[in-house]
Amino acid sequence: MLMFSASPLRVLITACTHTAINNLLSSIEHLKTLFSSSPQFPHWYKLANELIVLKIDSNNFRNLTSSKREHPLVIGSTGWTLQKLDPSIVFDVIFVDEATQLLTSDALLALNRLANHDESRLIVAGDPLQLSPVKRCTYPSLPYPVPDLFSSLFHCLLRDENNSPISLHTEKPFEQISRCPYLSIFNENHRKFICIIYFFDCLHILFPQV
């Protein structure tokens, strides 16, 4: 597995907002704490005790010294801050959160840091029915089958089994999404507040016609 390979694993967490990056880093720190005290899982125990989790910003980007790069790393940063780093710093895994809000052109600032080897991975997460990129500009229309390079990274990468772009500008977008062979759809939202769910379940029972 890539995470247990001989060379130190380097992971980049990026998104269009600092809040999204901070939330993910906080979850990783929590898992690091759990596994660093769990020797019954030797591989994860070793990784957790060696792992460095670091949020990069315009004030501390120089903290990513060569000594730290000798350890497994999880770095959180926006694409713009990454431009301050040494060009030689690349990542085995790049995880893009809220990718439906991130323009493809902005995402490329981070994607250029993906390591060039067989096991490097790009993981993109997002909800196509949520907020689209907030930047608004006028772009030329692109002929089919050129992907929508001026939309979000998520929409740009959507492909069917023939590698043709998938458009979500339909009445049933989730049917279109299901045509993407390398996309996993999660139907559960772990951030849902249980009382709110219970409230709406009661409404549905009392007023099923609504």
Tell me the CB-side half-sphere exposure of residue 85, using CA atoms within 13 A. Answer: 27
Could you give the CA distance from residue 80 to residue 112 in angstroms, rounded to a whole number?
12
**Model pLDDT, residue 61:** 79
Predicted TM-score (pTM) of this structure:
0.79
Residue 121 has pLDDT above 60, yes or no: yes
Is residue 151 a contact partner of residue 99, using CB atoms and an 8 Å limit? no
Lowest average pLDDT, out of 8-22, 33-47, 191-205, goes to: 191-205
Average pLDDT over residues 186-204: 56
Work out how many domains the chain is built from and give that number: 1
Could you give the CA distance from residue 114 to residue 90 in angstroms, rounded to a whole number?
6
Strands 52-55 and 73-76: parallel
User: Which element (helix H / strand E) includes 124?
Assistant: strand 121-124
Give me the CATH number covering residue 89: 3.40.50
**Model pLDDT, residue 97:** 93
CA 153-155-159 angle, 5° bins? 110
**Model pLDDT, residue 63:** 74
* pLDDT (tens digit per residue) in 142-159: 777 777 778 888 888 888
Range of the domain at 191: 2-206
* pLDDT (tens digit per residue) in 29-48: 999 999 999 999 898 899 89
Alpha helices in 77-207 (DSSP H): 79-82, 104-111, 153-157, 173-177, 194-206
Residue 4 has pLDDT above 50, yes or no: no
Lowest average pLDDT, out of 3-7, 97-101, 177-181, goes to: 3-7
The first and second tokens of residue 104, run together, are: 């493809």
